[in-house]
Amino acid sequence: MDDRAVESAAEVFDGMGAEYERAFRDLPGQLAALDWLTARLPAGARVLDVGSGTGRPVAETLVRAGYEVTGIDVSAAMVELARAQVPAARFERRDVRDYRAPDGGFDAVCAFFPLLVMGRDEVGEALRRITECLVPGGYFVMATVPADIADVEIEWMGHRVRVSSYSTAEYLRRLREDCGLEVLYHATSTFRPDSDLAEPEDHLFCYARRSGAQSA
């Protein structure tokens, strides 16, 4: 029996630091999502990066494309790294589960894998909350590990964590019905992190849009 304590998301990523960036660098689905997004946003667009990690590659790519980027992450260590690596973006230590957008909202929201280390009910509420940050016509790109699981304890990257998720079909339903978004694209793929501590993972990538005219 594994008698180690289950770690929170903040504890996991505080302990992992830059190792997470090394393990998940050059993730094809993530790079494709960023290419898709940057082809659609005007210069100066406001973008929220949820679960911003070390700032690379997401915030760094978006800043280079000429966008005003805000990153939020529950890990103090990740926020510190991101501020050092991508000084042109703004990073805040915030929990997605109680985050509220500033006045004016965002033209796009990126959420690459922030919805796993939490309770099942929290996953749905966090998804709804971050998509509410979008202005009319705003874009949403996300990635997660799809699975019909609730509060399951697993070993991940050398840490004991409790994770929850939804199936692909349930994620798509929630984006459409609960969040009011038009799903423009979705695909699943398998990725092997560059770490001896990680196993291959199934990933779901979704691109979506809120109805209405895009902000100027």
Tell me which residue of 126, 173, 117 sits closest to 149, measured CA to CA. Answer: 117
Q: What is the pLDDT of residues 38-86, one digit of tens each?
A: 999 999 999 999 999 999 999 999 999 999 999 999 999 999 999 999 9
Position 160 scores a pLDDT of 94
Give the pLDDT of residue 212: 81
CA distances from 53 to 40, 107, 168, 183 (A): 24, 21, 24, 25
Place of tokens 């001896």: 196
pLDDT digits (tens, 9 = 90+) for 180-200: 999 999 999 999 999 888 889
Specify the pLDDT at position 75: 96
Other C-beta atoms lying within 10 Å of the C-beta of residue 76: 12
- pLDDT tens digits, residue range 144-194? 999 999 999 999 988 999 999 999 999 999 999 999 999 999 999 999 999
The residue to which tokens 């991508």 are assigned: 86
